[in-house]
């Protein structure tokens, strides 16, 4: 199902949303104070305190505020240089998610996105439909709940994105999420992109994930070994070659 889109201005906000999910939007939806008492996601989910679980209209949603990383974050934690509306972080990710949703890939459905511009700087937020009962792969690993079959499903999931030409900018064991039924999803496509399918970037994506797994293993949450990676690649190889 492809997400339709509509863009409206509400006060100081420009909001992009799916009219199939909401008849209208409200600028207050993006105000953290409007959701006083809403549960916050863990620190790895878009920055500590940056992500809230909310109920908006008829839908359970995830609200994420965009923050900068690296050294510049100490100077401008959530301000981005204005390069035009199509290049805002929130609108780019919303539209990328819409294309992946249309392709049937396991991602959250985009609900609404907004930016607030002040001169040469803007701030941004994104709302997606909550995928129920999922946990980061890193959490599942820490619980000791990853057998060879799950590793193969993780590999097959990544391969679907690679075969379709969708590149995740930071493929880690936190952004890969597993449902209670064992389905694998991929979240947080900020700075994600579309590229030539099966390009050299695919190997870079996999190398980033392997570093993530090794780091978690080094922190003592679980033990990463070559057998797990071999199982992941067994799931990856057939799916990416289709």
Phi, psi for residue 64 in degrees, rounded to 5:
-125, 130
CA distance 178 to 168: 17
**Neighbour-count burial of 218, counting CB atoms closer than 10 A to its CB (0-12 exposed, 13-18 middle, 19+ buried):** exposed
CA angle 159, 163, 166 (to 5 degrees): 90
Phi, psi for residue 60 in degrees, rounded to 5:
-85, 130
Token pair belonging to 103: 């392709």
CA distance 177 to 186: 6
State yes or no: is 125 an active-site residue. Answer: no
3-class state of residue 59 by DSSP: strand
Q: Where are any strands of DSSP class E within 3-161?
A: 6-10, 13-17, 39-40, 51-56, 59-65, 80-81, 110-118, 121-129, 134-136
Residue 177, H or E segment: strand 176-179
CA distance 195 to 10: 34
Residues 6+ apart with CB under 8 A from 176: 136, 137, 154, 157, 158, 184, 185, 186, 187, 209
Q: Which residue among the candidates 26, 78, 170, 221 is catalytic per the annotation?
A: 170
Catalytic residues: 170
């Amino acid at each position: 199902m492809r997400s339709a889109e509509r863009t409206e201005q509400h006060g100081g906000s420009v909001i992009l949303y799916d009219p199939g999910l909401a008849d209208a939007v409200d600028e207050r939806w993006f105000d953290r104070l409007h959701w006083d008492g809403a549960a916050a996601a863990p620190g790895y989910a878009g920055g500590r305190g940056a992500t809230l679980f909310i109920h908006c209209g008829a839908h359970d949603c995830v609200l994420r505020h965009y923050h900068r990383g690296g050294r510049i974050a100490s100077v401008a934690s959530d301000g981005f240089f204005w390069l035009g509306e199509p290049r805002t972080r929130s609108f780019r990710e919303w539209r990328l998610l819409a294309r992946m949703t249309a392709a049937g890939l396991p991602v959250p459905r985009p609900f609404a996105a907004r930016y607030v511009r002040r001169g040469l700087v803007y701030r941004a937020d994104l709302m997606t439909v909550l995928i129920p009962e999922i946990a980061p792969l890193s959490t599942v690993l820490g619980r000791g709940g990853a057998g060879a079959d799950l590793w193969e499903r993780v590999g097959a999931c990544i391969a679907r994105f690679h075969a379709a030409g969708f590149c995740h900018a930071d493929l880690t064991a936190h952004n890969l999420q597993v449902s209670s039924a064992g389905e694998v999803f991929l979240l947080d496509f900020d700075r994600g992109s579309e590229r030539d399918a099966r390009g050299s970037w695919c190997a870079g994506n996999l190398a980033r994930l392997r570093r993530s797994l090794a780091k978690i293993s080094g922190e003592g949450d679980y033990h990463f070994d070559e057998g797990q990676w071999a199982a992941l690649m067994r799931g990856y190889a057939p799916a990416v070659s289709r």
